[in-house]
Amino acid sequence: MMAKRRPNVMDFIIIAAVVLLAALAVYKFGVVNKQEATSLAEEQKQITYTAFIDEVRMATVNALHEGDQIFDEKTGICIGTITGVSYEPRVKNVLDNNGNMITVEVPDYYGITLTIEGGVVEKEDGYFVDGIVELKANSEMDVYTKYAEPVIKVTQIDI
């Protein structure tokens, strides 16, 4: 038979600590995150930005369509919707036999310019999609759409 023991001061301290931790968890995940989510939606604004994809084949050009959503590969967050796709043959500067620099087309390779619309939050450090993915000019991003996984370079942000 087990002897009954009376609770001491340490038992009360442990119980109080467990109750305090549970209250802090409810406050953090219930109240604070709800406030951050609602204020994020209010601050978000729609922008249009331009991105460039270099040295791709025609299959990639054909895989990018207006209306497709484009996602950041690292986080999986939608960074916008493609509103325009244009492409040009890839050109390269080379030396000819006389030592002159000439511009020639690279066969079967293209440069694609995408126009993308998406919502961003403006913070002190710059523009962020969903408050997480940083969007800045001249930065390269690994992205994906339904049919392609290119690397884009953001060339212009129109606010």
Give yes or no for a contact between 54 and 153, defined as CB atoms under 8 angstroms apart.
yes
Same domain, 53 and 29: no
Residue 102 has pLDDT above 70, yes or no: yes
Same domain, 91 and 110: yes
Residue 95: beta bridge partners?
101
Tell me which DSSP letter residue 39 carries.
H
Q: Is residue 1 part of a domain?
A: no
Domain with 18, as residue range(s), is 9-43
SS3 54: strand
Same domain, 77 and 98: yes
pLDDT tens digit sequence for 118-139: 999 888 888 888 878 999 999 9
Triad 7, 9, 15: Cα angle to 5°: 75
Amino acid at 66: E
Across 88-109, average pLDDT: 93
pLDDT at 58: 94
Residue 48 has pLDDT above 80, yes or no: yes
Residue 52 has pLDDT above 70, yes or no: yes
SS3 92: strand
Give yes or no for a contact between 118 and 72, defined as CB atoms under 8 angstroms apart.
no
pTM of the model: 0.70
Task: Please state, rounded to an integer, the average pLDDT across all residues of the chain.
Answer: 88
CA-to-CA separations, 8 to 21, 70, 121, in angstroms, rounded: 21, 60, 53
Q: Is residue 3 part of a domain?
A: no
38 pLDDT band, cuts 50/70/90, is: very low
76 pLDDT band, cuts 50/70/90, is: very high
Same domain, 72 and 143: yes
Q: Is residue 68 part of a domain?
A: yes
Same domain, 36 and 19: yes
Same domain, 139 and 129: yes
Same domain, 31 and 105: no
Same domain, 79 and 139: yes
* Percentage of the chain modeled with pLDDT above 90: 69
Q: How many domains does the chain have?
A: 2
Backbone angles phi, psi at 100, to 5 degrees: -90, 145
**What whole-number distance in Å separates Cα of residue 123 and Cα of residue 128?**
7
Same domain, 90 and 151: yes
Residue 46 has pLDDT above 60, yes or no: yes
pLDDT at 32: 61
Give yes or no for a contact between 52 and 155, defined as CB atoms under 8 angstroms apart.
yes
Q: What is the CATH number of the domain that holds 58?
A: 2.40.30.110
Q: Is residue 72 part of a domain?
A: yes
pLDDT at 65: 95
Q: Given 3-state DSSP classes, what are the helix, strand and coil percentages for the chain, each rounded to the nearest 5? A: 25, 50, 25
Same domain, 83 and 105: yes
Same domain, 139 and 74: yes
Residue 47 has pLDDT above 50, yes or no: yes
Same domain, 95 and 69: yes
SS3 24: helix
Q: Is residue 4 part of a domain?
A: no
57 pLDDT band, cuts 50/70/90, is: very high
